[in-house]
Amino acid sequence: MQERRKSTNVLLDTALQEFYGAADEMGLDEKLIAVLSHSERRIQVSIPVEMDDGSVNVFEGYRVQHSTALGPSKGGIRYDVEVDMDECEALAILMTWKCSLAGIPYGGGKGGIACDPSVMSKKEKERMSRTYGARISPIVGKWSDIPAPDMNTGGQEMVWIMDTISKMRGELEPALLTGKPVSYWGSRGRHEATGRGVATCGLELMKELGKRPDKITAIVQGFGNVGSYTAKTLNDAGVKIVGISDVTGGYYSPDGIDIRKAFECVHSNPKRILTGFEKVGNCEKIDDVLFIDADFLFPCARDGVINRKTAPNIKASYIVEGANGPITPEGDNILASNGVMIVPDFLANSGGVIGSYFEWAQNLQGVFWTEEEYNNKLVHIMKGNFRRVWDYAEARHVTMRRAASMAAIERVAEVVAMRGTFL
């Protein structure tokens, strides 16, 4: 038997150990375990960029394709100082299971550039994005690997990358990547898709528990794209949001946060942050909303925020993971011993990749849907996926995280076994 992988990177080791645990519980064949615990391709590229002052900085870029068993690999591109190969691989593995569980024809991928985009001008970011696109162009494509926005990237970066690769190939390739602006081959509804999906899973859990949304209090940690639309969708359904946060701190109101005012505050700020919200939102500013007493917690910020140090102080009874890997294994064990129920990230935040699939399908056909069509299809799939994991967990007497892992791995393993190891 091949020795099993371990990593000093917390996120990668978490992804591997969760896979091994689920695979062992399923009784998965060791040959399949060996294949699925390794990524098909990991590349690192250097990205020389001429800065506005005439100097040249060389950034490191990455792209990992964990699996293409079910179809082209799918995953975002992030710009952050902490991006490295291990982080990209961990997130690519999670994308494999997320796509599998969602029932869409994708494998998992992820990429990024180690940089601090907050100190770069628009022209510097454009040059960096275009060079990165050129360097990864041999391995990306509408039937091989389909990037999308992630942390600190958006529609503009996708347009730069798509434009660069399309010009290199001599033809427009709109299905090359997703997350594009609506005005340029994008899809209506995509911007809100991840947050809408997270909230839908939360609302479905409330339904299974026999709880009315208007009797529920919730915390949303993180008020970026995912967190803000999670909060809005929950609030629209009647849930009282008592705490929100972003890089400026936490904001708490036992009477409920005015989410409309929070959106106005963010969109009036050039940096899209909640600076000064305590003055207009009639709420108290606090250090961290994680430890507020509420029924539901939606961590929609960074990975690893709920760990062995913070988990004992969590008061929420139910957690729906909006971010990727917000709970470490140690934190997960502590929460389990405290009776906290968790809806895992690759179920809860799969609305984004399902939405990307919708955009890709529209691009391939050259036919565009209305926002209502998009949202109805998204919510329908999210509800079905939640039901499948809930039933799987109930039938096998396992947690939702383990049930989601097992159901996702089952689908990929079946196809890998069918296709053989020459992939």
pLDDT over 90, % of the chain = 89
| pLDDT of 1 | 66
pLDDT in tens, 347-368: 999 999 999 999 999 999 999 9
| pLDDT of 423 | 47
Say which residues have a Cβ less than 8 Å from residue 62's Cβ, sequence separation at least 6: 42, 43, 44, 45, 83, 84, 85, 88, 111, 112, 113, 114
Q: How confident is the model at residue 202 (pLDDT cuts 50, 70, 90)?
A: very high
DSSP state of 54: S
Q: How confident is the model at residue 124 (pLDDT cuts 50, 70, 90)?
A: very high
| pLDDT of 399 | 94
Of the listed ranges 37-41, 206-210, 416-420, the one predicted with least confidence: 416-420
Residue 56, by phi and psi: left (phi above 0), alpha (psi -120 to 50) or beta? beta
* CB burial readout 138-160, b (16+ within 10 A) else e: eebbeeebbbbbbbbbebebbbb
Mean of pLDDT values over 242-247: 95
* CB burial readout 14-42, b (16+ within 10 A) else e: bbbebbbebbeebebeeebbebbbebbeb
pLDDT in tens, 365-419: 999 999 999 999 999 999 999 999 999 999 999 999 999 999 999 999 999 999 9
Say which residues have a Cβ less than 8 Å from residue 138's Cβ, sequence separation at least 6: none
Q: How confident is the model at residue 191 (pLDDT cuts 50, 70, 90)?
A: confident
Please say if the pLDDT value at position 221 is more than 50. Answer: yes
Mean of pLDDT values over 167-175: 96
pTM of the model: 0.88
| pLDDT of 422 | 62
| pLDDT of 292 | 95
Q: How far is CA 237 from the centre of its chain?
A: 23
Compute the mean pLDDT over every residue in the chain, rounded to the nearest whole number: 95
Strand order of the β-sheet with 217-221 is: 284-286, 249-252, 240-246, 217-221, 296-299, 318-320, 341-343
Length, in residues, of the chain = 423
Please say if the pLDDT value at position 346 is more than 90. Answer: no
Say which residues have a Cβ less than 8 Å from residue 251's Cβ, sequence separation at least 6: 243, 244, 245, 257, 262, 274, 277, 278, 281, 283, 284, 285, 286, 289
> Is residue 110 among the annotated active site residues?
yes
pLDDT in tens, 282-325: 899 998 999 999 999 999 998 889 999 999 999 999 999 999 88
Question: Could you tell me if 199 and 229 are in contact, meaning their C-beta atoms sit under 8 angstroms apart?
Answer: yes
Q: Delineate the domains of the chain, giving CATH numbers in brackets.
A: 40-171 (3.40.50.10860), 193-348 (3.40.50.720)
| pLDDT of 129 | 98
What's phi and psi for 331, nearest 5 deg? -65, -40
Sign of CA dihedral 406, 409, 410, 411: positive
Query: Among residues 98, 110, 180, 232, which one is catalytic?
Result: 110
Question: Could you tell me if 133 and 164 are in contact, meaning their C-beta atoms sit under 8 angstroms apart?
Answer: yes
